[in-house]
Structure 1
């Protein structure tokens, strides 16, 4: 579970999830390393929130790594769409 790792664990898992999401999504990405970490962490939080909302996770559980990657991918997609409109 992600929540047992502490802040350093969130950063490492966020970096990995964001990096994998960047690799899976073709095209240029406007963000750097810090944006990748933040998107990965946000993806893990999004996956955990949505998983709890639909009953996949209990309140004490965090999202798994695959769910964090999927969440980071979705957030990266939204991030690119918002920046493209500017």
Structure 2
């Protein structure tokens, strides 16, 4: 239960950072922001994980970059805001 709540909170934080750093206005809702953050974390985790489960600043940065990549992909496919 706490893992799900943690994923939602970190997804909101990561998604908000990605929208802050991505140029231009995206217009995504709070739910879409959370999903972008969670998706970005998953994308970054699949690419960068090497069996580590510790918190790392590089992993956090990779999560934000992964969410930004999902925003770019959404704009390229004309999905979302």
Unaligned runs of 5+ in 1: none
Unaligned runs of 5+ in 2: none
Of 15, 23, 27 in structure 2, the residue corresponding to residue 26 of structure 1 is 23
Q: Which residue in 2 is equivalent to 1:69?
A: 64
Q: Which residue in 1 is equivalent to 2:48?
A: 51
Indicate conservation of the 8 Å contact 1:42/1:71, yes or no: yes
> Structure 1: which 4+ aligned runs deviate by more than 3 Å?
none
Q: 2:70 and 2:64 mapped to 1: Cα distance? A: 10
2:13 is the alignment partner of 1:16: yes
Q: 2:45 and 2:53 mapped to 1: Cα distance? A: 8
- 3-state SS, counterpart of residue 50 of structure 1: helix
Give the structure-2-normalised TM-score: 0.80
Q: Pairwise CA RMSD of aligned residues?
A: 2.0
- Counting matched residue pairs gives 75
Give the structure-1-normalised TM-score: 0.76
